[in-house]
Amino acid sequence: MPDHLPMFPLNAVLYPGISVPLHVFEDRYRALVHHLLRVEDPAERLFGSVAIREGYEVGDHGNQSLFRVGVRLQLTEVESHSDGTFDIVAVGRDRIQLDRLRGSGDFPVGEITLLDEPSAAVPQDVVERARATFTAYRHVLGEIAGDPLEGELPRDPAYLAWTLAACTPLPMAEHQQLLEAADPTERLILVTDLLRSELRAMNVITSLPATEVARTKWSPN
C-alpha cells in the first residue's frame, strides 16, 4: 500500500545503510526538519529523498524532473543555528518508489511505496571479485586524491554493495542504475565492472576521475 512521507529531493543518489550530512537552509526543508523533530519516537523521524533528474534543489524553479526510485532516511543528528538553519545527518533505511509528489504544503510530501529487497544468497566469487577490485581502486585513488572510504569494507554482501556504490565516482545516471539494481548480486557485478573501467582509465591517465564524488569520504553507519 502507498504511504506518505516528507520528501527532500537532492542532486545526489543516496543509498540504504549510508549516512549523509545535509545543510538545511531553505524554508520548506527547515519546515520539514521542524516537523520531524516534533515526532516523539526518534526511530520514526523518517523522510524520503530521490535524485533530481532535471532542475535544482533550491530556488523558485526547483526540481523539474525526479527519478522515481529513492531512499527512505532516518534523521539521526540535528544541530540548529541561530539563523534558523540546520546541519543534520540522516542514514538511509530502505528503498522507496515515489508514486506522486505534492508540493503545495509547508514541505514536499510524497506518496511512496516501499521496495522489497531480495534475500537470495550472493555467490562468494562475486563478493571476492568486488572486494578485490575496490581494494585495487582504493590503492590507486589513495595516491592521487585520498582514500574514498573511512574504515574497512563491510562483510555483509548487501551492505558491501551499497558501500561500493556510494564510494564509486560515477555520473548520476549510473549511480541511479546501482540503486535500481534488482538485488545485491546484480549490484556487485555492476559496480565491479564500473570500477574496472575506472581503473583502466586511471592507468592510462594518472588524474582524478571524471566526477568529484571521489573526493567525498562516505562514512558507513
Write out the chain's pLDDT in tens, 221 residues. Answer: 459 999 999 999 999 999 999 999 999 999 999 999 999 999 999 999 999 987 654 444 455 689 999 999 999 999 999 999 999 999 999 999 999 999 889 999 999 999 998 888 999 999 999 999 999 988 887 776 666 777 789 999 999 999 999 988 889 999 999 999 999 999 999 999 999 988 888 776 554 444 443 333 434 43
Question: Cα–Cα distance between 74 and 76 in angstroms, integer?
Answer: 6
Strand partners, 44: none
> pLDDT at position 72, please?
98
* pTM confidence score: 0.84
> pLDDT at position 4, please?
94
**Helix, strand, coil tally for the chain in percent (to 5):** 35, 30, 35
Element housing 31 (H / E): helix 27-37
Exposure string of 115-133, with b = 16+ CB inside 10 Å and e = fewer, is: eeeeeeebeeebbebbbeb
Burial of 104 per CB tally in 10 Å (0-12, 13-18, 19+) = exposed
Angle between helices 184-204 and 172-180 (to 10 degrees): 150
> pLDDT at position 63, please?
53
CA atoms within 13 Å, Cβ hemisphere of 58: 7
Element housing 187 (H / E): helix 184-204
Question: Cα–Cα distance between 44 and 73 in angstroms, integer?
Answer: 10
| Amino acid (1-letter code) at residue 112 | I
> pLDDT at position 131, please?
95
> pLDDT at position 54, please?
79
- CA neighbor of 93 nearest in space, from 49, 39, 127, 137: 49
